[in-house]
């Protein structure tokens, strides 16, 4: 058996098998379960690197297709490995390794089945990135949502349970919309295979087109809920802010699943339904950016500020997808990767920085608890030993995150925003020398949101590091600093290699907006279960 022939399915099989093994092991064996989780996640990262390297070195848009059961297309359950899906699997694997490592300090023992849910979340994420079928996209969505329900409640606490229950109820309703949309599309087109849908949409009768558009619109709403577009995002900030640090760090990429699917579907269907939904994406992205900017400025707690930063990142990327332009999308994808690394890092940093709160902050927290905001502070005892210059390390890490998320030079946030602005000014509507009003609004929001982020981060940094009310130094373990250093290090590498990364993303974006090669690779595949 040649593993290369099965490389596309391995990122799904590995976390699935790891989750099955972990659920069998008794919860008392915390160390063993932690070791298995870290080992499986590290192996997944290696597989994702191999998958991405093959995608980067392949001249075709699609590296491999995998048809389960050797059924002919389009009837087979098909997985598709191309540059876009490989890049997203790679990003998820990096965040997973960082989050799992951070949890080793204490959070993996704060509740049952953490490691099992963690692996099943990875299975759902990778399946959503790799599937080429809308129904199986629904299946993988449900797997990752089911795992995220348990992870959102991990660690208990009243605020966490309240936010988690709201999150569960809202996403169950969203899943219903997803299923209805899938049913409508299948009823009209007779297929849920994405490549086959591109072919069949052109033959849909005119009288059936409104029903098909309604189904696609319902799917779009479901994806936009997961992406966090305003006003469908009221559940996100509370849930992300209340989640434990390693869980919130993984949730940073869950909003990007919706963005990935929106890009995949809109780019594939653009040729047969030109511009469908682009205006909604553009103006919805603008509204989300404005809402996220106001939320960041108004937030006093760092986890909540990080949650609003997720909305700002999602809104920026969604607005860029509204252009339907490969150059703009390439810049948006660079920004997506850079901001996701920064957001995940900020969620991890937030716990360490809050661990060093002053006595006045602790008294204020007790007051909040007395008046009803009584989240339990289990596991709040000091752990580990104080590493040398802890506050300096935390301050430098926080400053790096602030520069990255605010889009200031020289890190990747600035490179991504510059690439997006360059693509916007070079897009088709601007080719005649006239810049549309929407483009001016978006450019203004990009600048204002970056300024607002920097102001909010500066305010937080001053309160935490510049003017402390006591000399307390948080006690931090090396295992907690290591994943933060990993994410920040990758952010720096991303900026240093911006030229080659942007070249890869430009090729990726061009291929995404060329559905012909995707359709040919999926429907023309003749190698059973392989390439």
Tokens of residue 531, six digits? 């390439």
For range 173-201, the mean pLDDT:
85
- Helix or strand run (H / E) with residue 67: strand 62-67
Summarize pLDDT for 88-102 with one digit per residue, the tens: 999 999 999 999 998
The reported pLDDT for the residue numbered 202 is: 76
Return the minimum-mean-pLDDT range out of 74-78, 190-194, 381-385.
381-385
Query: Are the CB atoms for 207 and 275 separated by under 8 Å?
Result: no
Strand partners, 65: 80
Q: By 3-state DSSP, what share of the chain in percent is helix, strand and coil, each rounded to 5?
A: 75, 5, 25
The reported pLDDT for the residue numbered 122 is: 93
Tokens of residue 481, six digits? 């600093």
Task: List the one residue out of 467, 488, 316 whose CA is nearest residue 399.
Answer: 488
The reported pLDDT for the residue numbered 423 is: 82
The reported pLDDT for the residue numbered 270 is: 66
CA-to-CA separations, 197 to 132, 264, 471, in angstroms, rounded: 11, 13, 63
For range 112-125, the mean pLDDT:
90
The reported pLDDT for the residue numbered 55 is: 79
CA-to-CA separations, 185 to 167, 174, 262, in angstroms, rounded: 27, 17, 16
Provide the residue count of the chain. Answer: 531
Summarize pLDDT for 444-482 with one digit per residue, the tens: 888 899 999 999 988 888 877 775 545 566 677 788 888
Summarize pLDDT for 238-277 with one digit per residue, the tens: 888 888 889 999 998 988 888 998 888 888 776 555 556 7
Residue 370 predicted with pLDDT over 50: no
Confidence of residue 390 (pLDDT cuts 50, 70, 90): confident
């Amino acid at each position: 058996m040649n593993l290369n022939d099965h490389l596309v399915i391995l990122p799904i099989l590995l976390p699935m098998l790891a989750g099955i093994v972990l659920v069998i092991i008794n919860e008392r064996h915390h160390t063993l379960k932690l070791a298995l989780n870290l080992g499986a996640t590290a192996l997944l990262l290696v597989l994702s690197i191999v998958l991405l390297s093959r995608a980067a070195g392949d001249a075709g848009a699609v590296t491999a297709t995998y048809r389960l059961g050797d059924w002919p297309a389009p009837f087979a359950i098909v997985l598709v490995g191309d540059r876009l899906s490989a890049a997203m699997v790679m990003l998820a694997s990096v965040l997973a390794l960082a989050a799992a490592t951070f949890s080793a300090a204490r959070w993996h023992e704060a509740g049952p089945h953490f490691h099992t849910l963690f692996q099943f979340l990875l299975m759902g994420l990778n399946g959503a990135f790799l599937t080429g079928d809308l129904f199986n996209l629904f299946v993988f969505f449900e797997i990752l949502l089911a795992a995220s329900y348990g992870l959102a409640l991990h660690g208990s606490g009243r605020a966490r349970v309240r936010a988690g229950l709201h999150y569960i109820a809202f996403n169950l309703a969203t899943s219903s919309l997803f299923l209805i949309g899938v049913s409508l599309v299948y009823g009209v087109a007779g297929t849920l295979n994405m490549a086959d849908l591109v072919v069949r949409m052109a033959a849909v009768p005119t009288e059936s087109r409104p029903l098909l558009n309604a189904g696609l619109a319902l799917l779009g709403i479901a994806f936009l809920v997961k992406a966090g577009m305003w006003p469908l995002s009221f559940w996100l900030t509370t849930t992300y802010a209340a989640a434990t640090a390693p869980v919130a760090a993984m949730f940073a990429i869950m909003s990007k699943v919706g963005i990935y699917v929106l890009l995949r579907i809109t780019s594939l269907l653009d040729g047969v339904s030109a511009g469908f939904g682009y205006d909604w994406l553009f103006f919805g992205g603008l509204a989300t950016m404005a809402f996220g900017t106001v939320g960041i400025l108004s937030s006093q707690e760092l986890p909540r500020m990080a949650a609003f930063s997720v909305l700002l990142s999602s809104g920026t990327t969604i607005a860029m997808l509204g252009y339907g332009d490969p150059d703009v999308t390439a810049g948006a994808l660079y920004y997506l990767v850079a901001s996701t690394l920064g957001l995940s890092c900020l969620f991890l940093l937030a716990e360490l920085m809050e661990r060093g709160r002053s006595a006045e902050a602790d008294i204020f927290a007790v007051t909040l608890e007395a008046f009803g905001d009584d989240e339990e502070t289990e596991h709040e005892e000091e752990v580990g030993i104080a590493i040398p210059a802890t506050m300096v390390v935390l301050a430098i890490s926080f400053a790096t995150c602030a520069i990255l998320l605010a889009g200031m030079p020289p890190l990747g946030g600035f490179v991504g925003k510059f690439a997006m602005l360059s693509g916007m000014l070079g897009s088709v509507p601007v080719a005649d020398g006239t810049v549309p009003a929407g483009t001016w609004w978006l450019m203004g929001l990009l600048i204002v949101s970056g300024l607002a982020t920097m102001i909010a981060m500066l305010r937080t940094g001053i309160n935490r590091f510049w003017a402390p009310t006591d000399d307390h130094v948080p006690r931090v373990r090396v295992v907690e600093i290591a994943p933060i250093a990993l994410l920040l290090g990758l952010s720096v590498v991303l900026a240093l290699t911006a030229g080659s990364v942007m070249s890869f993303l430009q090729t990726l974006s061009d291929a995404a907006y060329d559905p012909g090669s995707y359709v040919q690779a999926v429907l023309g595949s003749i190698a059973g279960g392989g390439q």
